[in-house]
Structure 1
């Protein structure tokens, strides 16, 4: 059996690929010509050159595949080309699922996000929550419409399972939550902001993907999320385990001002701001979801928050990103993710 992974050169998709290869599966990754695939090739992964915006290349990549993990998307809260972000996320998903339908793929795991749940302010979102009817930013809007595409294909009979992970952090390339953690413990984040957030550890999301292919019911969605916390408290706990003084907590209106200024600069430099306006908007609205369905139906077990942060800090230390060894590792413990063991 060959498994195709889209987004396999990215953060989550790459972690799924490593887990599949550790298990001994035959894995093929759809990657653009410009993508770096050297590490995947060393893992014995077959590379199919193509693009999710090119349906023909997706169909060719699916030749002989029984299972598809569609994890390709733009996981950023700011990009210089928002229209392209929407096109990749929505139309790319339509192309991939249409190709899977044409090829008769046995199981499709589509990676959405918990931001599509759309819970109202102060509500805890579940898989059955009715969307509030408005969006916080471009990221959740694009992912919402892409998930609707996945549901349409499920109604047509394609065996699609939808996973909705919350804000992912852990070892690997720096994405929004992980970058904020690193910036905070290294003193590059001058202030913390309060607001309810939902997070999950990368290894748990990967395990959720593997379990979904085996146990999930087609047409169902599963929230993968472990920690409902205050954003400032989450960063303060990260600082405690790192052994550094946390930044002060500031008001959201200051965060809005900073984000507006940074995005004005970003439009000129085309370099992402440290604090996108979309992040401040998410904190102002708040986010809280329930990931227990994945525990009940898939058998997923979540890592404790402290262990997840310790493993993340261990990885940052191993990469040379921290000036001092985290306090939680002073006893010699090296607790990085198994999926990244030995990587530098």
Structure 2
């Protein structure tokens, strides 16, 4: 079956597309940057560049598809361009009209648990979108998922970053407001099954995870997973409301300023309202995850343990300040190791080579392998992560993960020289936010240089050779053009690694 899918690059889409491919479906991914977005998926996903806000090309996008899966939506406004009315309501209206003009395929709409009773502007927009879908002149199905969590979601992933990086974690009141999160792969499996279940048409089904939890419960669980438990900082509801309103005032000026500083408000008015209302099933027996579909639910604890190593990368170009390139290297001679053997040895013994604790959480890997996420600790800054996104015989490229003090890429490389091996560490990065920028400008830069020189010296010792010229350094600031090109290359590395992992998961042969 060919399926037109919107919202394919978000958390829900990241779970849905592999599940649909595994079920044998073909996907037409509709987005504003579709050609770039499909690069992270294997064969079976084609691109269609379009904007839901410009409906003229949408009937062509629907043509030849047997189902439409409409995931795209926002939980945070950035007026005047991005609003609930334009995206959640207007986008749904445009896509329904396109479906009616192109054969009326089965229309699956992803709404939100609580859309029928929530008072937030977000929930009101989702309810208006549901009403549009119910007037669709063709078969339709509305799914109301609970808070879907997975790599980069805006609730549990945010709490994970708080636990790892903040000296204290803010919570609203006592943090016991209930919600019922749903693992992204479980909901992806629901969507893959739902497109074939025409007998469910005309219904509104609520889908949630198996566990009812709260902010404090999730924080307690994450503290055990990460072995880091900063104190909680209760924030009264009224103060949280004032903070959210201030950030959104003056046309969202506060939010724009925070984004320019590499920061984001921990909560907005819509999210706060949803938190206070609670997001749980009104009737536990009505959970369609179990009653209507054949998906085995993922327990919350299992999902959190998987999430701990799945947060998204943050490449250079997505931080604050200049992007700087530093190379630390040494000409090692003599050594019996080939360049490939030396790099393999470094990656196998990475925790010995790195100057900081580099397996900082229980069960963290101690060897660097392709796709593996390494977790380290910086005194006074908390835990950080990098992921090995590229591995060749003589090159290993790590990309920083969201929450790292840098937005950057780190490369270990080895090359043959007439007398031995050249080992180099290349760091291309910028500060992740203004606080880290200030830290780098005061003491961070000197500490960073000292640490990387120490790493090169440890590699020299590991090689069994010497470096007569010592550890050398090169440094430069990249131009905007160079940063743009580098960001594109890093995204390609990440997309290739994700694509290959999905191919392995679904059992398909590479076709890119």
What TM-score, normalized by structure 2, do the two folds share?
0.55
Paired residue secondary structure (1:48): strand
Paired residue secondary structure (1:214): coil
Say yes or no: does 1:209 pair with 2:243.
no
Following superposition, the deviation at residue 212 of structure 1 comes to 1.3
- Structure 2: distance between partners of 1:38 and 1:210: 18
Paired residue secondary structure (2:291): helix
Change (3 A) 1:39 1:94: same
Change (3 A) 1:243 1:52: same
Choose from 272, 275, 287 the match for 1:280. 272
Following superposition, the deviation at residue 295 of structure 1 comes to 1.0
- Equivalent residues of 1:68, 1:105 under 8 A apart: no
What TM-score, normalized by structure 1, do the two folds share?
0.80
Change (3 A) 1:224 1:63: same
Change (3 A) 1:180 1:108: same
Matches within 5 A, 1:1-344: 1-33=1-33, 36-40=36-40, 43-74=43-74, 76-81=75-80, 84-118=83-117, 135-136=119-120, 138-153=121-136, 156=137, 158-171=138-151, 173-187=152-166, 190-193=169-172, 194=175, 195-215=177-197, 217-226=200-209, 227-248=211-232, 250-253=234-237, 254-263=239-248, 266-267=254-255, 269=257, 271=259, 272-289=264-281, 290=284, 292-316=287-311, 319=313, 325=359, 327-330=361-364, 342=501
- Equivalent residues of 2:5, 2:28 under 8 A apart: yes
Following superposition, the deviation at residue 205 of structure 1 comes to 0.9
Change (3 A) 1:342 1:293: closer
Change (3 A) 1:162 1:313: same
Structure 1: 5+ residue runs without aligned partners?
Answer: 119-133
Change (3 A) 1:198 1:6: same
- Structure 1: distance between partners of 2:77 and 2:236: 19
Q: Which residue of 2 aligns with 1:123?
A: none
Deviations 1:72-125 (Å, cap 9, x if unpaired)? Answer: 112x3353448633211111101111221222244221111113031xxxxxxx
Change (3 A) 1:48 1:268: closer
- Structure 2: distance between partners of 1:270 and 1:328: 33
Structure 2: 5+ residue runs without aligned partners?
Answer: 316-356, 374-497, 503-512
- Structure 2: distance between partners of 1:188 and 1:92: 41
Paired residue secondary structure (1:315): coil
- Structure 2: distance between partners of 1:185 and 1:86: 36
- Structure 1: distance between partners of 2:212 and 2:111: 19
Change (3 A) 1:259 1:13: same
Paired residue secondary structure (2:148): strand
- Equivalent residues of 1:189, 1:247 under 8 A apart: yes
- Equivalent residues of 1:5, 1:30 under 8 A apart: yes
- Structure 1: distance between partners of 2:229 and 2:130: 41
- Structure 1: distance between partners of 2:167 and 2:52: 36
Change (3 A) 1:175 1:305: same
Deviations 1:206-251 (Å, cap 9, x if unpaired)? Answer: 0111121123510111112113222222222122222111431514
Paired residue secondary structure (1:314): coil
**Number of matched pairs:** 319
- Structure 1: distance between partners of 2:82 and 2:313: 34
Paired residue secondary structure (2:4): strand
Change (3 A) 1:147 1:28: same
- Equivalent residues of 1:30, 1:58 under 8 A apart: no
Q: Which has the higher contact order (CA 8 A, sep 6+)?
A: 1
- Structure 2: distance between partners of 1:189 and 1:230: 18
Following superposition, the deviation at residue 44 of structure 1 comes to 4.5
